[in-house]
């Protein structure tokens, strides 16, 4: 079996003062040459949470099974993710960042684009320190699953990507 994963980010400054930046990220991965039952759950692909699709619970997006306790995400052999942010500096130290994230994990080794992507959207506040920006995001899942909350909060040092 072979594990393949790739990620790319791009940034575009929209004004001379560098106060408006459009940022984008895409990622995809696949496990080739194995069935889902051959892969340990910890090695499968999952989507959801702060570095992925904000607004959804940790590893809550992907193939799932019904259990006696409810629904459990079991992970997949492939995934796709994407994010877009508009980073707007209001002052030299304060910024506002509206964002949209989307992604899904799939049972097969090739993503099944007939299945809808899960989308999370929200807004972030940035405090630009001399080291890195302090990040506070609030995100909302547009199609929450049974184990997702109405919203999620994220705090971190640095941009989301």
User: pLDDT tens per residue, the chain (161 residues)?
Assistant: 999 999 999 999 999 999 999 999 999 999 999 999 899 999 999 999 888 999 998 888 988 887 777 778 889 999 999 999 999 999 999 999 999 999 999 999 999 999 999 999 999 999 999 999 999 999 999 999 888 899 999 999 999 88
Measured in degrees and rounded to the nearest 5, phi and psi for residue 37 equal -75, -15
CATH number for position 130: 2.40.160.50
Domain that holds residue 148: 2-157
Facing residues of 95 across strands? Answer: 89, 126
The tokens for 69 are 């306790």
Rg of the chain over Cα atoms, rounded to whole angstroms, equals: 17
pTM of the model: 0.91
Among all chains, which residue has been given the structure tokens 């509206």? 98
**What whole-number distance in Å separates Cα of residue 110 and Cα of residue 68?**
30
Contact 115, 106 (CB under 8 A): yes
| Encoded tokens for 132 | 């890195």
Q: How many domains are contained in the chain?
A: 1
């Amino acid at each position: 079996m072979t594990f393949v994963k790739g990620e790319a980010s791009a940034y575009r400054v929209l004004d001379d003062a560098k106060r408006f930046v459009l940022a984008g990220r895409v990622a995809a991965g696949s496990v080739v040459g194995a069935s889902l039952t051959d892969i340990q759950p910890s090695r499968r692909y999952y989507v959801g949470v702060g570095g992925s699709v904000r607004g959804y619970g940790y590893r809550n997006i992907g193939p799932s099974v019904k259990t006696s306790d409810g629904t459990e995400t079991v992970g997949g052999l492939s995934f796709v993710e994407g994010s877009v942010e508009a980073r707007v500096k209001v002052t030299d130290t304060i910024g506002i960042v509206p964002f949209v994230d989307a992604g899904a994990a799939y049972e097969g080794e090739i993503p099944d684009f007939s299945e809808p992507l899960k989308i999370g959207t929200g807004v972030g506040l940035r405090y630009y320190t001399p080291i890195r920006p302090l990040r506070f995001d609030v995100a909302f899942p547009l199609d929450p699953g049974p184990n997702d909350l109405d919203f999620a909060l994220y705090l971190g040092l640095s941009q989301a990507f």
